[in-house]
Structure 1
Amino acid sequence: MMNRTLTGKPSVDRPWMQYYPTEMVEGLRVPESTVCEYLKEQCPGESVVAMHYYGTDITWHEVYEQVDKTARALRAIGFGEGDEIPVFLRAVPEFMYLLLAAEQIGASLLCRDNTIEENVAAVKKSGAKMIFAHDFLSHKNFNAYRTGAGIRGAVLLSPLHSANRMKIPDYCWNYLDSLYTSHPAYGPCTISWDEFLKLGEDFEGVVAAPRDINRPLFRAYTSGSTGPSKQVIHSAYTMLAIVQQMNFYGASSQFRPTWLMTHLTPALVAVVVSMLLMPLASNKLLILSPFVDVNDVDLELMRYCPNCWPHIPMFIELVMRNGRVPDDYDLSHLISAGAGCEAYNNIQLKRAQKFLDDHNCHVRYTTGYGCSEAGSNMTLPMTAQPIGNGNVGVPLPLTDISVFKPGTDKELTYNTVGEICQCGPGTMLGYDDPVATAKVIKLHSDGRRWLHTGDIGYMTEDGTIYTLTRGCATRYGGGELATLPMENRLADAEIEGIDDEFFVITEDPEHHHCFVPYLFVVLNDGYTVDDIKDAVAACLEDYMQPVDIIVLPERPFFHYKTNRIGLREDIRNGTFDKN
């Protein structure tokens, strides 16, 4: 560790910079470019394959050509500068064409992947008269957009449009078949993607809007897993700020890495910024496989043998749980491995690391940290500290992260628990609600805009961030209920019979503004709560003791995260027997 004098203020000391090679960060700046300009600057050559989609190789030349056609067609159907374009597509090549075409005409993509009622409400608020969706959109839902949001029509895209049908495996065909209803959207108010492009050929007006890297370009909604879903707005500048700080991730000087994208939807900021734009901007071959059932991601992993596979805890848990990866399967093709999206406790980390080691992949399994409001990733696992106990790495090189007294601008010193806040060029423009924006982006006394994440954690003297829980939750009688440290106490005890465990914190019905913990466990065959409850009690402080221990057959997920919000509702509604 380099010698340095610490002031006690991480935002001033920036101790994490010791881990970044000087040649890597010297002169590093956020590019004053549009997304398309940036991709062209980084492009290894127009004849090089940019994306692979079910047997079809798409070169950079074809990408640029399709973007121009898409921009002209968007103008032809009435979209222009400042408009919001509702897009309900999976991670298909046409999504990328729409994003870059929207930038060209000065519009923004609006993406949401929630209930039909929430999606309709988002379209209505946008004022858009056309939507983009896959042709498996049901006629019932299409009519919901027409009557509820006032749209006049839809551009419908077949998932097979850019694919080679002969190269689609059976399990993907099965998943595709499951998406279609007996009554898909139809009629004179719908047009195909090819008909849409054809309209653009006859458009004779101005296509390109004045260049503006700070106008809204991408609008997505938070998952709603920790509270009401909110629309997050990003520009070319805020998105490229993250891409520029990460575009060396998963790199190799000896070969061109492959980057596999499975299942995750571009309705998520992290997907668009860190999982689509970043590999495209860093000379990786982007392999798109959005039409694979989440339970079959292990089959795509073995089919493509990618060097990089961005995934989430849900995915790696399913790969291990399915049991279809042979014991002698060689996973050494992965040059990086780690999960983002939500906290990963020590028992999960140990299980994932053992799985990699048992399959000849000896890279360190890490966890990441970020949020939609920060433009995706806020940290990278460039730290000498052991992984676990909430270690999510160090801040990106152009990003400041520090810990503050919750709800204030009082910066705390090292190893002091408080609210994790971020200040950097990737911070969102805001929510679509100024009042909600003001609650999370605050002007501090240092004159800078800080994003208050609501996450609780601390930073060590070397700049490593440790996340502990979401929000403050005090138990009656004293004690802060931090989920991850509580889970890790049980994980480190290696209690016989427990295969997986996690806590859900909910309101104390008997004490206002106080909370109580419930422990959910997945047990090994033959074990009951009676077999583990004494060992659980011995691991926890008095204020950490769960109100009840509830057995589940497996960890449940909602919108890619552990479904704590659903379980919390079950507790409130009395679904579980808490006697």
Structure 2
Amino acid sequence: MSSTNLTGKPSVDRPWLQYYPEPLRKITVPECTVKEYLKMNCPGEDVAAMDFYGSQILWGTVFQKTEAVARSMRAVGFKEGDQIPVFLSSVPEFIYILLAAEQIGASLLCRDNTLKENVEAVRKSGAKVIIAQDYLAQHELGRFLSDTDVEKVVLIDACQSCRREDMPDYVRKNLDSRYPDEKAHGPKTMDWEEFLAIGESYKGPVDAPVDVNRPLFRAYTSGSTGPSKQVIHSAHTMLAVIAQMNFYAGASDYRPTWMVTALPPALVAVVVAMELMPLASNKLLILNPYVAVEDVDLELMRCRPNSWPLIPMFIETVMRNGRIPDDYDLSHLTAAGAGSESYNNNQLKRAQKFVDSHNCHIRFTTGYGNSEAGSNVTLPMSPYPMGNGNVGVPTILNVISVFEPGTQKELTYNEMGEICISGPGLMLGYDNEEATKKALQVHEDGMTWLHTGDIGFMNEDGVLYVQTRGKAPRYGGGDLATLPMENRLADADIKGIDDEFFVVVPDSEHGGCFLPYLYVVLEDGYAIDDIEDKVRECLDDYMQPVEIIELSERPFFHFKTNRIGLTKTILKEQLKKVPGELRRANA
């Protein structure tokens, strides 16, 4: 975009629009329910909406089951405004339950954290009935019954909509591992068929008045970067995201397939971008919830999807397992990229090389989004090369800009600051009013902006570069932005380093400041001493790690690099050293 036409404010200039052809600029947010939107885009009720381990779920079945579930929800006492706690994998029943909740005016409450946290979420909801998979343990059932208002638990067989014998052996094995020694049972439980039977005899009202702005989906953030928070979305905010993405990874001469592996529907991105979006854009949704992460490569080869929502954890598994034959043709993938967390230049280079070497000549991309914004807020629409934090340009209905951290002062192009988002997909809020006011702020332009806490910059063409999470100044000067630091090492191509990432922890001696620790995965035959000098040579003084720590592989927590766990370990080690230091000081 010509610099002479720029005001210097991305929110005013919106230079990214140059990458959207006129038809895409006409996208609007549908003013309807999620169910109505799916019906409008349904290719026919006799067409398969989902594939669940070989069982084809027709669109007609989806709508019929939704009606039945809505009646049963009313029969067991759920009403408009209620929260319905759901603890499920990505199974077809989840879709029925979500659409049925919308029909009766209730919202789903999903959480996939510790038992204590899950119980607390249910307690706060006041729900008397919860829905879970049949591998809920008896002791877990006991906690829900004793510590909350729950009086009944609906248990859904993991193979309710498929045949167990149709699963590959390794999938069955992983599914079997989920079952405890003592499954939940007793008079406080009912199975799915019993639940549906209750609805058959229900004679009261079912549908609530249509309100696309009432809460529909409540999910907790992963907790990988801080305390987990409940994010609340409506049909309107969810459809706002879906409508902006429907054209992506589509095809005109065939019906694409879209596979979701392992990820649970307790994450906003999974429900909105990975399940509802393909359903709303005439893609066959392949649900694959029971595959172990270490076996996703086998399912990639078995199902051969056209699209597979990737996270760094998945593509790393595929590349490192070594089970994809050299001559395997990966050209069935029409789009590939990684989301959920930053992806450094080393990771990106390895992923691009891998797909290229398997006859998949597409650009491996990175994206950006968060639960609060409803999932994806950028798309790889620009010709700028990937790397250095390039996550693409804002989706057509979103406005993204960069602000001076802790303020509402908008910065200009190529200035580092806090990434903020304004658009129709923003959450209704958290379940905490104070946290909501901090995150969602109305600026002087009259727009509501989500302050993400992420740090990055935008160039003159509207391409967003995400660099790190939060400002982390080091005592003595310099901001510890993890991705640029990792990219220094990646671009140096230091022999012996297979993977690397930084963890930034609070500096116990200087309040408000931080210290960097570098974690590396080394190639066979290499030790820290072999790479340390070259590492330190390519980093500025303020970037120098306190310690370089070797790992056998990158650790993950809740599908993201486990920086929060490593931070706790570092801080715990620091505390162990304090008594000794004090003794020496007093000696």
Quote the residue 1:504 is aligned against. 503
Quote the residue 1:100 is aligned against. 99
Q: Kindly indicate whether the alpha-carbon contact (under 8 Å) linking 1:570 and 1:576 is maintained by their aligned counterparts in 2.
A: no
CA-to-partner distance for each residue in 1:108-166, whole Å, 9 max, x for gaps? Answer: 00000000000000000000011100111000000010111121110000111100233
Q: Kindly indicate whether the alpha-carbon contact (under 8 Å) linking 2:3 and 2:460 is maintained by their aligned counterparts in 1.
A: no
| SS in structure 2 of the partner of residue 574 of structure 1 | helix
Quote the residue 1:436 is aligned against. 435
Quote the residue 2:241 is aligned against. 242
Query: How far does residue 3 in structure 1 lie from its aligned partner after superposition?
Result: 8.2
Quote the residue 2:584 is aligned against. none
CA distance in 2, matches of 1:141, 1:299: 32
Which structure 1 segments of 5+ residues have no match? none
Q: Kindly indicate whether the alpha-carbon contact (under 8 Å) linking 2:133 and 2:158 is maintained by their aligned counterparts in 1.
A: yes
Distance verdict in 2 for CA 1:316–1:145, change over 3 Å:
same
Quote the residue 1:65 is aligned against. 64
Quote the residue 1:284 is aligned against. 283
CA distance in 1, matches of 2:373, 2:274: 15
Q: Kindly indicate whether the alpha-carbon contact (under 8 Å) linking 2:24 and 2:396 is maintained by their aligned counterparts in 1.
A: no
- The normalised TM-score by structure 1 is 0.99
Quote the residue 2:272 is aligned against. 273
| SS in structure 2 of the partner of residue 102 of structure 1 | helix
Query: How far does residue 24 in structure 1 lie from its aligned partner after superposition?
Result: 1.9
Q: Kindly indicate whether the alpha-carbon contact (under 8 Å) linking 2:402 and 2:416 is maintained by their aligned counterparts in 1.
A: yes
CA-to-partner distance for each residue in 1:447-502, whole Å, 9 max, x for gaps? Answer: 11100000000000000000000000000110000000000000000000000000
CA distance in 2, matches of 1:281, 1:269: 16
CA distance in 1, matches of 2:25, 2:90: 31
* Percentage identity across paired residues of the two chains: 65
Which structure 2 segments of 5+ residues have no match? 582-587
Quote the residue 2:15 is aligned against. 15
TM alignment of 1:81-96, pairs within 5 A: 81-96=80-95
Quote the residue 1:333 is aligned against. 332
CA distance in 2, matches of 1:463, 1:119: 40
Q: Kindly indicate whether the alpha-carbon contact (under 8 Å) linking 2:164 and 2:172 is maintained by their aligned counterparts in 1.
A: no
Matched, 1:554 2:537: no
Q: Kindly indicate whether the alpha-carbon contact (under 8 Å) linking 2:107 and 2:217 is maintained by their aligned counterparts in 1.
A: yes
Matched, 1:157 2:168: no
Superposition misfits of 4+ residues, deviation over 3 angstroms: 1-4, 575-579
| SS in structure 1 of the partner of residue 413 of structure 2 | coil
CA distance in 2, matches of 1:134, 1:214: 29
Which residue identity is paired with 1:23? P
Quote the residue 2:526 is aligned against. 527
Quote the residue 2:292 is aligned against. 293
Which residue identity is paired with 1:482? A
CA distance in 1, matches of 2:135, 2:512: 46
CA-to-partner distance for each residue in 1:393-428, whole Å, 9 max, x for gaps? Answer: 000000000000011111000001000000000000
CA distance in 1, matches of 2:335, 2:4: 31
Quote the residue 2:565 is aligned against. 566
TM alignment of 1:110-509, pairs within 5 A: 110-509=109-508
Query: How far does residue 2 in structure 1 lie from its aligned partner after superposition?
Result: 6.8
Query: How far does residue 4 in structure 1 lie from its aligned partner after superposition?
Result: 6.5
Q: Kindly indicate whether the alpha-carbon contact (under 8 Å) linking 1:2 and 1:18 is maintained by their aligned counterparts in 2.
A: no
Q: How many residues are paired up?
A: 578
Distance verdict in 2 for CA 1:576–1:533, change over 3 Å:
farther
Q: Kindly indicate whether the alpha-carbon contact (under 8 Å) linking 1:129 and 1:152 is maintained by their aligned counterparts in 2.
A: yes
CA-to-partner distance for each residue in 1:377-408, whole Å, 9 max, x for gaps? Answer: 11001111110000000000000000000111
CA distance in 1, matches of 2:264, 2:92: 13
Query: How far does residue 577 in structure 1 lie from its aligned partner after superposition?
Result: 10
| SS in structure 1 of the partner of residue 355 of structure 2 | helix
Which residue identity is paired with 2:374? G
CA distance in 1, matches of 2:115, 2:574: 26
Quote the residue 2:48 is aligned against. 49
Deviates further, 118-127 or 39-48: 39-48
- The normalised TM-score by structure 2 is 0.97
CA-to-partner distance for each residue in 1:323-357, whole Å, 9 max, x for gaps? Answer: 11111111000000001000000000001011101
CA distance in 1, matches of 2:11, 2:406: 17
CA distance in 1, matches of 2:468, 2:303: 36
CA distance in 2, matches of 1:50, 1:297: 22
CA distance in 1, matches of 2:280, 2:5: 37
CA-to-partner distance for each residue in 1:58-104, whole Å, 9 max, x for gaps? Answer: 11111100000000000011101000000000100000000000000
Which residue identity is paired with 2:188? C
Which residue identity is paired with 1:12? V
Q: Kindly indicate whether the alpha-carbon contact (under 8 Å) linking 1:399 and 1:425 is maintained by their aligned counterparts in 2.
A: yes
CA-to-partner distance for each residue in 1:248-269, whole Å, 9 max, x for gaps? Answer: 1110111110000110000000
